[in-house]
C-alpha cells in the first residue's frame, strides 16, 4: 500500500490529504497555504542570514588573522532637522515622567531590562560600526527615558540627580542636536548619542544586539582580543509613488557595506572597504 502521510507522492506535504489534479498540485486549504507561506518565509530568512554571514566573513578577511568578526545591521539614513511634533511629544512625555520621579513615584509599565553584560570590555567600541541601527527604537519609545531611569539618576549621587524637574527637562531638551538621523531617536546625532551616558535610558546603556552577544561569546571562547565588525544594510530608495524599493547589489545580495573596523582594547579603528573589494 503506497504511503499516504505528508510528503508522500500525490498528497499535501502539510496535511497528508490527497491532492486534486496533477501530483504537483498544491493543497488549497487555508491552513496548509498559511503553513506553506510561513515555511517559505522562514527558508528565505535563513538564506538571507547565511548570505549576510558570508558577506560579513568576506569583508572581515581584511582584518588581522585570528580576530573574530560580527555582522551588524548597519544604517546610513541621512541627517535631518528633528521634527517639531516629535520634540513636542517627547517634551510632554518628559514633563510627565520627571514630575513622577521628583515626587518619588514609580511609573507604570516600565520595560523589562536586559541584564547581560559583555565579558570583553572593548565590545562597546564595536557598536559604533552599525552607526546606531538599534537607536531607531528610541524614536517611538521617547529615548527610553522613564520614571525608573530618572529615579536611578536621582539616587545615583550624580549632581544631575539633584536638579528639579523643570531644570532637568530643560537640560535634556537642550541636548537634542540640530540634526539627527532621519526616523531615529531625537538624540541620535552625527557622532552618536548626544546625551551623556548617565542621562541615557536604562535600555540604551544595557542593550546589546544578538550579533554582538554572539561575537562576544565567540571572542571569549577563542581567546581573541580583537573583533572585526562589519555593518551591513539594505540599499533602499523611493520608487514610483513613494514606495520603498530595495536595490540589490551586484553579487546577488541585498546588503550594502556601511562600515568595517577593528575593535580592540585600544578602541575602534576603521578599515578601508577598498582593502576588501566592493560588493555593490
User: Is the pLDDT confidence value at 199 over 80?
Assistant: yes
Render pLDDT for 214-262 as a digit per residue (tens, 0 to 9).
Answer: 888 988 898 888 888 888 875 444 344 433 333 333 344 456 777 788 8
Domain boundaries, the chain: 50-75+209-275, 79-119+133-206
User: Is the pLDDT confidence value at 193 over 90?
Assistant: yes
Q: Could you tell me if 238 and 78 are in contact, meaning their C-beta atoms sit under 8 angstroms apart? A: no
Read out DSSP for 69-131? EEEEE---PPEEPPPHHHHHHHHHHHHHHHHHHHTT---SSPPPPP----SSTTHHHHGGGGT
Render pLDDT for 34-54 as a digit per residue (tens, 0 to 9).
Answer: 777 777 777 776 776 677 667
Amino acid at each position: 500500500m503506497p504511503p499516504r502521510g505528508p510528503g508522500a507522492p500525490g498528497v499535501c506535504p502539510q496535511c497528508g490529504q490527497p491532492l486534486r489534479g496533477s501530483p504537483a498540485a498544491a493543497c488549497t486549504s487555508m491552513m496548509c497555504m498559511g503553513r506553506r507561506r510561513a515555511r517559505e518565509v522562514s527558508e528565505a530568512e535563513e538564506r538571507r542570514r547565511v548570505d549576510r554571514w558570508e558577506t560579513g566573513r568576506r569583508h572581515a578577511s581584511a582584518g588581522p588573522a585570528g580576530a573574530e568578526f560580527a555582522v551588524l545591521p548597519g544604517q546610513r539614513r541621512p541627517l535631518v532637522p528633528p521634527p517639531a511634533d516629535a520634540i513636542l511629544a517627547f517634551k510632554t512625555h518628559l514633563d510627565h515622567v520627571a514630575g513622577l520621579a521628583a515626587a518619588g513615584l514609580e511609573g507604570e509599565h516600565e520595560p523589562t531590562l536586559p541584564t547581560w553584560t559583555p565579558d570583553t570590555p572593548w565590545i562597546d567600541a564595536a557598536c559604533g560600526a552599525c552607526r546606531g541601527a538599534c537607536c531607531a527604537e528610541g524614536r517611538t519609545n521617547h529615548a527610553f527615558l522613564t520614571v525608573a531611569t530618572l529615579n536611578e539618576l536621582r539616587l545615583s549621587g550624580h549632581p544631575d540627580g539633584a536638579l528639579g524637574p523643570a531644570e532637568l527637562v530643560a537640560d535634556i531638551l537642550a541636548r537634542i542636536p540640530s540634526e539627527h538621523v532621519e526616523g531615529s531617536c531625537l538624540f541620535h546625532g552625527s557622532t552618536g548619542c548626544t546625551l551623556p551616558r548617565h542621562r541615557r535610558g536604562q535600555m540604551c546603556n544595557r542593550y546589546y544586539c544578538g550579533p554582538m552577544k554572539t561575537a562576544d561569546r565567540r571572542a571569549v571562547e577563542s581567546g581573541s582580543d580583537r573583533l572585526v565588525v562589519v555593518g551591513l544594510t539594505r540599499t533602499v530608495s523611493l520608487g514610483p509613488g513613494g514606495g520603498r524599493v530595495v536595490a540589490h547589489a551586484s553579487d546577488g545580495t541585498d546588503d550594502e557595506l556601511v562600515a568595517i573596523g577593528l575593535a580592540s582594547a585600544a578602541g575602534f579603528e576603521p578599515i578601508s572597504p577598498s582593502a576588501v573589494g566592493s560588493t555593490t
